[in-house]
Amino acid sequence: MLEHSICIASNRSLIQSKASLSSAIGYVELTNSELIISDNSSEISKEIWCKNKISNKVKYLTLPGSNSRENNLNAYSNATGEYISWLHDDDFLVKLDPTFSMQKTADKRCVGFRPSVALWDEHTGISKSTNFSIIGNTAKERVKEYFCLNGGNNTTFFSFMKREIILNITDLYTNSHPTIGTYCDWAVVLAYISSGNILHNPSSLYIYNNHNWSGDAAKIHAAIEKQFTDVGLQSRSQLFLPLLTGLDSFILICRETSPIARDEIYEAGIEALVMYLKSFLARYGQNKTLFTPNEQKTIEEMAVAVGIKNILNAALKVIDVHAPEIVEKYKLFYRVSIGCEWGDFR
């Protein structure tokens, strides 16, 4: 089996994506890996360029007219490697040591490898780099460890994850999440981390294009709001981001298909949920006037709820006031993932 599949769901033009695609092609040529490009840009010049790069290591698939969900699905469903990772078509991946083998380095508790990651933008150049492993003895310890180590960015999303882990979580998120918004990537990563250890891969460098998240506060705020309006929610929904992330994290961490024992995974899910709810309530306390009277009422009821089932029910009432159109979708997401009705766990 190939060690690694790199998946690029590409929508940018050839001019915008050529450097990224070229970096990935160079990476797979040096390693026991493959590149899958699923392209829905419908640009003829890009298609010609990519088809000229096709080899036994590079697959190029076109999906004109598809949305981002379908394009993502087309990419990862064609991956055959033991480890699978995502590469955005404006980011870069570099192999620094071709002799490093994840298959030979992994132990039985390892479910993935995190490359060294650097942030880049056109004004600053490289601004920040991170190198760390997540090796807590329990799922809860790993969740807490990530909250301490992430440094304010979630580039662990681009880790090289064991095939069964990433496919299970990606299928669940892609097919069942109420919005499939890009704001959900923190919850996805916590689901990865809860599943086992993620070791540092010092032989690979992921360079993340930080253009959207650099600059003044107004630009960054607009980028956050766009994550919600792109999936049909209000721009105001960004106020509820920690609440939504807490619920998404709990639901994905506690999925029935987790390789971790149920009691252990439940504790990890609670840890993530409580951390994010504390953040949400702190944000609410500092900006109370930004919430409607009905939102305030349900948030304050949630703040005094006792017990996880009551907290989950109260959180759903908050969502029902703010975005009632996704309440039934959340109940279904919970049922598909955890195998129980909302708030229950077994």
Beta-carbon count within 10 A of 1 CB: 9
The DSSP 8-state label assigned to residue 122 in this structure reads T
Q: In this predicted structure, what is the pLDDT of residue 217?
A: 85
Closest CA to 4 of 204, 217, 275: 204
Beta-carbon count within 10 A of 181 CB: 19
Higher pLDDT: 271 or 68? It is 271
Q: Decide: 264 and 302 in contact? Cβ < 8 Å.
A: no
| Mean confidence (pLDDT) of the chain | 96
- Non-local (6+) Cβ contacts of 12 within 8 A are 41, 89, 90
Sorting pLDDT into bands at 50, 70 and 90, what band is 257?
very high
Q: In this predicted structure, what is the pLDDT of residue 163?
A: 96
Q: What angle do CA 197, 249, 300 make, to 5 degrees?
A: 140
The residue extents of the domains of the chain are 1-92, 217-338
Sorting pLDDT into bands at 50, 70 and 90, what band is 140?
very high
Q: Decide: 9 and 75 in contact? Cβ < 8 Å.
A: yes
What average pLDDT score do residues 165-175 get? 95
What average pLDDT score do residues 5-13 get? 97
Distance CA 296, CA 284 (A): 9
Its pTM stands at 0.95
pLDDT in tens, 320-331: 999 999 999 999
Q: In this predicted structure, what is the pLDDT of residue 346?
A: 84
Sign of CA dihedral 138, 139, 142, 143: negative
State the first-to-last Cα distance of the chain, in angstroms, to the nearest integer.
36
pLDDT exceeds 80 at position 247: yes
Beta-carbon count within 10 A of 340 CB: 13
Sorting pLDDT into bands at 50, 70 and 90, what band is 93?
very high
Q: In this predicted structure, what is the pLDDT of residue 221?
A: 86
Q: In this predicted structure, what is the pLDDT of residue 212?
A: 82
Helix or strand (DSSP H, E) at 255: none
Q: Decide: 288 and 307 in contact? Cβ < 8 Å.
A: no
pLDDT in tens, 215-238: 788 888 888 999 999 999 999 999
Q: In this predicted structure, what is the pLDDT of residue 241?
A: 97
The DSSP 8-state label assigned to residue 134 in this structure reads B
- Non-local (6+) Cβ contacts of 14 within 8 A are 43, 45, 46, 49
Q: In this predicted structure, what is the pLDDT of residue 49?
A: 97
Q: In this predicted structure, what is the pLDDT of residue 42?
A: 95
Q: Decide: 273 and 249 in contact? Cβ < 8 Å.
A: yes
Q: In this predicted structure, what is the pLDDT of residue 266?
A: 98
Q: Which two tokens stand for residue 185?
A: 């990537």
pLDDT exceeds 80 at position 32: yes
What average pLDDT score do residues 113-117 get? 98
pLDDT exceeds 90 at position 213: no
Q: Which two tokens stand for residue 277?
A: 């709810």
Name the one residue in this structure whose structure tokens are 């999440």.
Answer: 177
The upper half-sphere exposure of residue 328, i.e. CA atoms within 13 Å in the direction of its Cβ, equals: 1
What average pLDDT score do residues 258-262 get? 97
What average pLDDT score do residues 60-87 get? 94
Give the SS3 label for residue 113.
strand
Distance CA 134, CA 287 (A): 34
Is 218 exposed, middle or buried, given 0-12, 13-18 or 19+ CB atoms closer than 10 A?
Answer: exposed
Q: In this predicted structure, what is the pLDDT of residue 123?
A: 87
Q: In this predicted structure, what is the pLDDT of residue 147?
A: 95
Distance CA 247, CA 235 (A): 19
**CATH topology assigned to domain 1-92:** Spore Coat Polysaccharide Biosynthesis Protein SpsA; Chain A (3.90.550)
pLDDT exceeds 90 at position 293: yes
